[in-house]
């Protein structure tokens, strides 16, 4: 397979603590993958291994076809830490110029990088005067030096306002469209649901779920919840006709297993003349995430 990142049966322990157990995953060019998990689930450990900062106990890993941490891998992988820090006395332009020089890249590219992340207008202002969102963009511009094939982003949007988050994801969309693979960790479930191609859920060091939200929803097979609005006066008839219906804060509520959904809807439909409306309540990513995270006894 044409993988930018290939991980197979990876295991890592710190003393008696198993940080990662039998983790496998592939990320292909242009894919945006979100890594989700509770505190201590193993996300940072996985990122450090991908960056070549720590070794594995067993399993295989290849970044752009080579060992993580090798000179080739380091040239192709970029990392944006959650709290990137900058010398606040430097301007954005000076900062990026400095890092271009360190990487042996032409410094003439600094302005183009800042333009790419929407910071061209502030390039000559000191970073101390930048907002959190602007500093995050400097970090992204720095990460883009050398056209990385894989971007590893640790909670890149934490602390950003909704507009800055949207702008940040639009930048990532553009990079993915140019072929960069993106692996980002996040606790902001609703936003990654909309902005990534695939979700990975780590729990207790194990990869407990992987797929699109649609795949995870199907695999979780959580009970279906419905709200029924009765035509005035028919509440009691409906409750009598549907044994699994209950009254919650004045509304009628029905819960059934996934494979009972059509049958339950047919029962409700048969009550025409008594039912004004029915709403099937979709599960949020939080519900699905909790389901998989708890499966490991977390
Ligand atoms: N250097 C270390 N020495 C000992 N234990 C460690 C070390 N690094 C991580 N661990 C343990 O490995 C487990 C996974 O930690 P990790 O930092 O990868 O989790 P995480 O998912 O990144 O958490 P968070 O969301 O809080 O950053 C935890 O139990 C942690 O205590």
Among the atoms of ligand 1, which is closest to the Cα of residue 187?
25
Pick the CATH number of 5-218 from 3.40.630.30, 3.40.50.300, 3.30.390.30, 3.20.20.80: 3.40.50.300
Q: How far is the CA of 213 from the centre of ligand 1 (A)?
A: 26
Q: How far is the CA of 15 from the centre of ligand 1 (A)?
A: 12
Percent of the chain whose pLDDT exceeds 70? 98
Contacts of 243 (CB under 8 A, 6+ apart): none
How do 224-230 and 206-211 pair as beta strands? unpaired
Residue 298: what pLDDT?
46
What distances in angstroms separate CA 283 from CA 187, 222, 258, 286, 290, one per listed residue? 17, 8, 12, 8, 11
Question: What is the Cβ-side half-sphere exposure of residue 148, based on CA atoms within 13 angstroms?
Answer: 28
Residue 189: what pLDDT?
76
What distances in angstroms separate CA 34 from CA 9, 71, 114, 181, 256, one per listed residue? 19, 26, 25, 11, 30
Ligand 1 contact via 204 beta carbon (within 6 Å): no
Q: How far is the CA of 42 from the centre of ligand 1 (A)?
A: 6
Higher pLDDT, 42 or 258: 42
Neighbours of 272 (CB within 10 A): 8
Task: Look at residue 296 and tell me whether its pLDDT is greater than 60.
Answer: no
Whether 5-218 and 223-282 share one fold: the answer is no
Architecture of domain 223-282: 2-Layer Sandwich (3.30)
Give backbone dihedrals phi and psi of 191, rounded to 5 degrees, phi first: -75, -40
Residue 253, sorted as left (phi over 0), alpha (psi -120 to 50) or beta, turns out to be beta
| Per-residue pLDDT reduced to its tens digit, 69-128 | 999 999 999 999 988 889 989 999 999 999 999 999 999 999 999 998 889 999 999 999
Q: Whose CA is nearest to atom 19 of ligand 1?
A: 40
- Indicate the domain borders of the chain: 5-218, 223-282
Ligand 1 contact via 37 beta carbon (within 6 Å): yes
Give backbone dihedrals phi and psi of 2, rounded to 5 degrees, phi first: -85, 80
pTM for this one? 0.84
Q: How far is the CA of 216 from the centre of ligand 1 (A)?
A: 25
| Per-residue pLDDT reduced to its tens digit, 217-253 | 888 888 999 999 999 889 899 999 988 889 887 789 9
Among the atoms of ligand 1, which is closest to the Cα of residue 42?
18
- Rounded CA gap, 35 and 294, in Å? 16
Residue 160: what pLDDT?
81
């Amino acid at each position: 397979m044409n993988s930018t990142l290939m991980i197979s049966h990876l295991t890592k322990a710190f003393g008696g603590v198993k940080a990662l157990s039998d983790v496998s995953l592939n990320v292909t060019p242009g894919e945006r993958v979100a890594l989700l998990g509770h505190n201590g689930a193993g996300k940072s450990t996985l990122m450090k291994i991908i960056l070549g900062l720590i070794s594995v106990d067993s399993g295989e890993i290849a970044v752009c076809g080579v060992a993580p941490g090798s000179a080739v891998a380091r040239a192709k992988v970029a990392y944006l830490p959650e709290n990137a820090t900058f010398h606040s006395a430097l301007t954005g332009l000076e900062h990026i110029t400095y890092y271009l020089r360190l990487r042996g890249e032409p410094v003439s590219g600094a302005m183009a990088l800042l333009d790419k992340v929407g910071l061209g207008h502030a390039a000559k202002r000191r970073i101390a005067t930048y907002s959190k969102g602007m500093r995050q963009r400097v970090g992204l511009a720095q990460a883009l030096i050398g056209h990385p094939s894989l971007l590893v982003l640790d909670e890149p949007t934490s602390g950003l306002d909704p507009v800055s988050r949207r702008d940040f994801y639009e930048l990532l969309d553009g990079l993915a469209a140019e072929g960069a693979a993106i692996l980002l960790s996040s606790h902001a479930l609703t936003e990654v649901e909309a902005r990534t191609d695939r979700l990975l859920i780590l729990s207790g060091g194990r990869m407990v779920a992987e797929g699109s939200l649609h795949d995870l929803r199907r695999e979780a097979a959580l009970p279906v919840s419905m709200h029924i609005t009765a035509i005035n006066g028919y509440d009691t008839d409906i409750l009598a006709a549907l044994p699994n219906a209950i009254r919650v804060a004045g509304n009628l509520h029905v819960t059934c297993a996934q494979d009972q959904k059509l049958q339950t809807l047919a029962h409700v439909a048969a009550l025409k003349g008594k039912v004004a409306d029915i709403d099937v309540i979709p599960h949020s990513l939080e519900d699905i995430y909790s389901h998989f995270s708890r499966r490991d006894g977390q």
